[in-house]
Amino acid sequence: MRFPGDVADPTDRPHFLTDCYITEFNLTIKKFPNYDANGLTHIYGFPTVKTNEWEKNYFEKVWPNWKDGIRNDTKEQIKDIGTYYDRTTGIVTDQLKKWLNNTHDNVREEIDVWYKWINIWCKFTLESFLESNIDVIKAKVPEESRQDLDMKTLAKLLPWSDDALRGYSVFTYTQQLDQSLVQYLREGLGNWWSHHMHTLVGGMHSLADGFFDRGVLIEKDDLETNEQVFKISYFFLSNSPNRDFVKVTSYANKENPKNNAVYTAQLLSQKQMGITRTDGFDMQREDTNSIISKIQMTSTHMGHI
């Protein structure tokens, strides 16, 4: 499995939980070649050349009208299809970033901002967004939701021409443009795709082995294996991040055929992982007495499900 981030830069690794375990267990990582500037491209019978040379020499021959959707006063600023995509979708992601910057690290506000932004843009697929003109954007995005959205620039970039859509899809190998716009944008927001990536030496099993090889988990610990998880609920107190914990719910199985199994586990501290509480969990707030009682029930189940 490949993880985003440079081997030489531990601050550039957004897969926080896994990389925290890698650090704690002192596991060896190596570079994963996710991009090769000298890679070769062969499309539509043109000569096989380096990818960046193919774009420069042949992109406009195949898709000559890719700039037709761009206003004349903006065309010279857009040099290639990658820049066009980044400029267009960046207007949407910049809105979210500005909203998050105004939350002052308040967890509840951050969650509300994420939900608000997702509810606005989940109405679009990537394709329908790029094909929209500014009137469609106005119709689907209410005026009160356009705060920090650069409508003026968006009007200069939309709608994308057929050549732009086809060229982007083929050249970047993005086959399914009809999927959720939010799904595509989250990759960039989370920095999950980068030229610099890394992987574990010896494969992913070395991470699981790390729980046992270094005495993190021992035989007498309360462990459950072969469980199929379908829900992870995250509980927190705003002023006590190190008391955060999760409840993991697994499907019933042969040993417990009637009831779903529920396990409670304390999390690694956020300081260790360097993450916000919003990453990938069903958020639930607990009052002080309740959360303390549930923290006392924590076990090591999360280590080996």
Q: How far out from the chain centre does Cα 290 lie?
A: 32
For residue 151, CA distances in Å to 94, 133, 138, 154 come to 12, 11, 9, 5
- pLDDT value of position 286: 44
Query: Prior bond to 142 cis, omega within 30?
Result: no
pLDDT winner (highest mean) among 118-122, 262-266, 288-292: 118-122
Sheet of strand 282-285, all strands in order from the earlier edge strand to the far edge: 261-266, 245-250, 229-236, 282-285
- Cα separation, 59 vs 185, in Å, equals 24
What's the rounded mean pLDDT across residues 85-108?
92
- pLDDT value of position 233: 85
- pLDDT value of position 274: 41
More confident residue, 28 or 237: 28
What's the rounded mean pLDDT across residues 205-221?
71
pLDDT > 90: percent of the chain:
39
Using 50, 70 and 90 to split pLDDT, how confident is the model at 111? confident
Torsional sign, CA 192, 172, 78, 73:
negative
For residue 100, CA distances in Å to 44, 97, 106, 109, 277 come to 44, 5, 9, 8, 14
- 216 closest CA partner among 303, 305, 302: 303
- pLDDT value of position 162: 97
- Cα separation, 24 vs 179, in Å, equals 37
Q: Report the SS3 class of residue 105.
A: coil
The one-letter amino acid at 106:
N
What's the rounded mean pLDDT across residues 287-294?
32
More confident residue, 211 or 127: 127
Condensed to tens digits (0 to 9), the pLDDT of residues 246-260 reads 888 888 877 777 678
pTM above 0.75, yes or no: no
More confident residue, 167 or 52: 167
- pLDDT value of position 163: 97
More confident residue, 209 or 298: 209
- pLDDT value of position 219: 57
- pLDDT value of position 221: 56
- Cα separation, 245 vs 298, in Å, equals 8
Question: Do 134 and 150 touch, CB atoms closer than 8 A?
Answer: no
- pLDDT value of position 289: 34
* Neighbour-count burial for 91-105, b at 16+ CB within 10 Å, e otherwise: bbbebbeebbeeeee
What's the rounded mean pLDDT across residues 145-166?
96
C-alpha torsion angle, residues 51, 55, 57, 60 (rounded to 10): 160
The one-letter amino acid at 151:
M
Question: Do 27 and 200 touch, CB atoms closer than 8 A?
Answer: yes
Gyration radius of the chain's alpha carbons: 24
